[in-house]
Structure 1
Amino acid sequence: MRSLRYAILPLAAATVLALIGAGTAEAAPAPAETKTGPITGALTTAGNGATSVHTARLSSGAPVDSAQDAAALARYWTPERMAKAVPLDNLAAPSRPNAAKKAGPTGKPGMIPAAPARSHTVAPLINESAAVGKVFFTNPSNGGTYTCSASALNSDSKQMVVTAGHCVHGGRGGTWMTNWVYVPRYRSGARPFGTFAAKQLRTFNAWINSSDLRRDVAMVTTWPLNGNKLVNVTGGHGMSWNFSRTQPITILAYPGNFGGGEIQWACIGTTRAASDGGLELQCNFGGGSSGGPWLRTFNDSNGLGSVNGVMSTVTSGGWNEAAYFDDAVKAMYDAQGGVT
């Protein structure tokens, strides 16, 4: 049996594991994060919850509006193009709002259940989830090709992916990304479940117009591949919203500063409230990890959990941060989850 290679980094808040084998390993318990004082205030759905939807397009501007277009886009992303794609880094984004503008729960906590794959052939490697993958796309603003992380999200359509807003749109002064594809459980160029092309992209107007990191969230409907819908193939995570900011969390992503972004890495720890009311965990995950899911109740036996945030930024001190999932994120899910 091959052993699971792992590295424990000297971070106060988390244990980081490299995921490259089929052996077994257990992460050491992470110390709980603490922060005194209540989190107050809330973003209003009317002011900050509006979203925009966009038909996925090729770099030529042509829409990806058929299964044939989706297949052609999958072929476009050759191993060579994927290898040249650059991990997307959000360090250029504006600083987070101060505590006076921090978000809060906008309703009762809620959960959407995860969905297992319909096939028994997708059992994950230890800590590596078939419902997490790597995203590739082109930024029309500079013509560059980039990578992010993302995950399959259970919904009525069984076709949805959740990622960061800056992985679908450049934010203030930018535009929608093109040539967008999702590769579940990508590993060093391997695509065990194929390449799923985007059909429709959705993110918050507050991200599009103002690069507001409190709304750095996106949901994407993918085309079925060979007649098979994404969640039915890989399984799909559930989703949580309006939960406490202090949560045991497993983050799965493809950080470019670990393993070159070629394999999934996990960061396990307990989150705390960020200054703007989002979530933070000291993982030191860099570019390429953007959009990776922050999972409550992660089940290592099936690689599924409940998405409670997605990777957004990293501070100079190695603290990764995610927007807080509230009723506005649930409203985005409701708007996009049934699109086929």
Structure 2
Amino acid sequence: MRSTRTSTPHGRGRRRAVLAATGLVAALTLTATACGGSGGNEANGKPDATASRAVDSGGGRAGIPSDLTDRLKEHGIDVGKWKEGGWQDWDRDKWLSEAQDFVNPVIEGLWEPERMGSAQEADKTVTTKDASAAQGVSDPEPAPVRAEAEKTPYHENAAPVGKVFFDSPDGPAVCSGTVIKDVNRPGRSNLVWTAGHCVHAGADGGWYRNLVFVPAYNDLGTSDVDPGTANAQEIAPYGNWWADWASTSGGWIQGGSRSGGDGAPYDYAVLHVKPEQGSKSLEETVGAALDVDFSAPSAGEAGSMGAWGYPAAPPYNGLRMFKCLDAPGRFSLSPDLPTMYRIGCTMTGGSSGGGWFRVVNGRTVLVSNTSIGPTDNTWLAGPQLGEDAEALYQNMSKTYGGQ
């Protein structure tokens, strides 16, 4: 989620940020379930995205869908061996050639509190050259806004927010995510919004593995809890939710990478999840979900926004949820790429994928997610969600949401 620092000058003072944030604090309520459904319409055409199905063969639950058995065999995937540790084989050539195949069987007991605690923040970097290529389009760099700790317990104050854990070739990694409403499954959504770089390596590789969502992680916000000795209920009050479907943008898959900015404006993803244990939907279990606003105005006209997440890089340790409130400005990585939102914020890596929210007609809606920021952690940038993002969401909802 970090980048090398750009050279754009400070232009907005702390006073403006504080004033903008004050109104949002009073109105922004993440625990209130919004009415209606995101987008409000059925899928409108094919999304510029890749959506692939995962498999589950554990615990006497869904089993391996018969239509996937042959495809799994073609790729040499034995689910039994996979669950016993075969997933740790990250053959680069195979990973690249099979980038479109998202395989995520439930492995019960894999994500215990201690392993969650060992996960490293997933960084997304851009170079100074990338960031300075369109400084004439970007607004002046915002003044830093110090991240505030969310009130506890999280299930009462920010129930839709949680952590996204996954395995990459470098080991366990962590991002943030948000429970969103499903237009085709009112009141029973199993959809989670996060960043593209939290589910797929972009042009550098394929889908990550063992993706799970943990809502209200460390619910009481205990800052010195030892994940090695903490019980699962303390760390994961709503349990672990495995992604059995995933979708991210074609722009991220084709242009995304750890360095360079081409994929950043398309750095978003949707997960369809199922519980490791239990049968209720994620929305019913958590008691909250947010609509996604795909028609939010451009920066400068959007008013105040808030970014939520679990920063894990120093000075944070990933155990507590934080938020930043500010009025967004424009941020451009290239004249040929869509403009992104940018706000002042001191959150670090680990907050990637965390939702950005604003209040529309008294309702809190998701309008973006954390993608990138500078190495000195003074601001964050996130994509503006437009027609491509809506098409991705609608396709995910219509095709997979009812399952």
- Would you say same fold, with TM above 0.5? yes
Match of 1:81 in 2: 115
- State yes or no: 1:263 paired with 2:320: yes
Match of 2:349 in 1: 287
Distance 1:242 1:294 in 2: 14
Q: Which amino acid aligns with 1:206?
A: G
Could you tell me how far 1:63 is from its partner in structure 2?
Answer: 3.9
Indicate which of 133, 144, 149 corresponds to 2:162: 133
Q: Deviations over 1:190-248 (max 9, x none)?
A: 11111101101111121112111110000000014411111121211111123222331
Extract unaligned runs of 5+ from structure 2: 1-12, 25-45, 56-81, 88-101, 139-151, 219-224, 228-234, 257-262, 334-338
Could you tell me how far 1:164 is from its partner in structure 2?
Answer: 0.3
Distance 2:17 2:190 in 1: 32
Q: Which amino acid aligns with 1:280?
A: R
Q: Could you tell me whether the CA contact under 8 Å between 1:14 and 1:267 is conserved in 2?
A: no
Distance 1:174 1:126 in 2: 35
What are the equivalent positions in structure 2 for 1:18-29 lying under 5 Å apart? 28=22
Q: Could you tell me whether the CA contact under 8 Å between 1:11 and 1:282 is conserved in 2?
A: no
Distance 1:299 1:242 in 2: 14
- State yes or no: 1:240 paired with 2:293: yes
Q: Deviations over 1:229-286 (max 9, x none)?
A: 1112121111112322233112110011354111110111111111251100010221
- State yes or no: 1:167 paired with 2:198: yes
Could you say which structure has the higher strand fraction?
1
Distance 1:56 1:97 in 2: 39
- State yes or no: 1:274 paired with 2:300: no
Could you tell me how far 1:125 is from its partner in structure 2?
Answer: 4.5
Could you tell me how far 1:171 is from its partner in structure 2?
Answer: 1.3
Q: Report which stretch shifted further, 85-94 or 236-245.
A: 85-94
Q: Which amino acid aligns with 1:150?
A: G
Q: Report which stretch shifted further, 256-265 or 286-295.
A: 256-265
Q: Deviations over 1:152-181 (max 9, x none)?
A: 010024110000000000112122110110
Indicate which of 179, 188, 195 corresponds to 1:152: 179
Could you tell me how far 1:315 is from its partner in structure 2?
Answer: 2.0
Could you tell me how far 1:89 is from its partner in structure 2?
Answer: 1.3
Could you tell me how far 1:126 is from its partner in structure 2?
Answer: 9.2
- The RMSD of aligned alpha carbons is 3.2
Distance 2:254 2:53 in 1: 18
Match of 1:185 in 2: 216
Distance 1:101 1:172 in 2: 28
Secondary structure in 1 aligned to 2:203? coil
Q: Which amino acid aligns with 2:181?
A: N
Secondary structure in 1 aligned to 2:204? coil
Match of 1:321 in 2: 381
- State yes or no: 1:95 paired with 2:130: yes
Match of 1:310 in 2: 369
Could you tell me how far 1:56 is from its partner in structure 2?
Answer: 3.5
Q: Which amino acid aligns with 1:160?
A: L
Match of 2:359 in 1: 297
1:249–1:100 Cα change, 3 Å: closer
1:126–1:335 Cα change, 3 Å: closer
Q: Deviations over 1:4-58 (max 9, x none)?
A: xxxxxx967756xxxxxxxxxxx7568xxxxxxxxxxxxxxxxx96100123476
Q: Could you tell me whether the CA contact under 8 Å between 1:284 and 1:314 is conserved in 2?
A: no
What are the equivalent positions in structure 2 for 1:46-57 lying under 5 Å apart? 50-56=48-54
Distance 1:327 1:97 in 2: 27
Bigger radius of gyration among the two: 2
1:310–1:232 Cα change, 3 Å: same
1:238–1:102 Cα change, 3 Å: farther
Normalising by structure 2, we get a TM-score of: 0.61
Secondary structure in 1 aligned to 2:278? coil
Distance 2:14 2:155 in 1: 22
- State yes or no: 1:196 paired with 2:227: no
1:230–1:150 Cα change, 3 Å: same
1:330–1:100 Cα change, 3 Å: farther
Q: Could you tell me whether the CA contact under 8 Å between 1:96 and 1:213 is conserved in 2?
A: no
- State yes or no: 1:253 paired with 2:306: no
1:101–1:208 Cα change, 3 Å: farther
Could you tell me how far 1:80 is from its partner in structure 2?
Answer: 1.4
Give me the identity figure in percent.
Answer: 25
1:126–1:222 Cα change, 3 Å: closer
Distance 1:331 1:292 in 2: 20
Normalising by structure 1, we get a TM-score of: 0.71
Q: Could you tell me whether the CA contact under 8 Å between 2:47 and 2:395 is conserved in 1?
A: no
- State yes or no: 1:215 paired with 2:215: no
Distance 2:132 2:369 in 1: 18
1:181–1:126 Cα change, 3 Å: closer
Secondary structure in 1 aligned to 2:217? coil
Q: Which amino acid aligns with 1:145?
A: P
Q: Could you tell me whether the CA contact under 8 Å between 2:178 and 2:192 is conserved in 1?
A: yes
1:77–1:148 Cα change, 3 Å: same
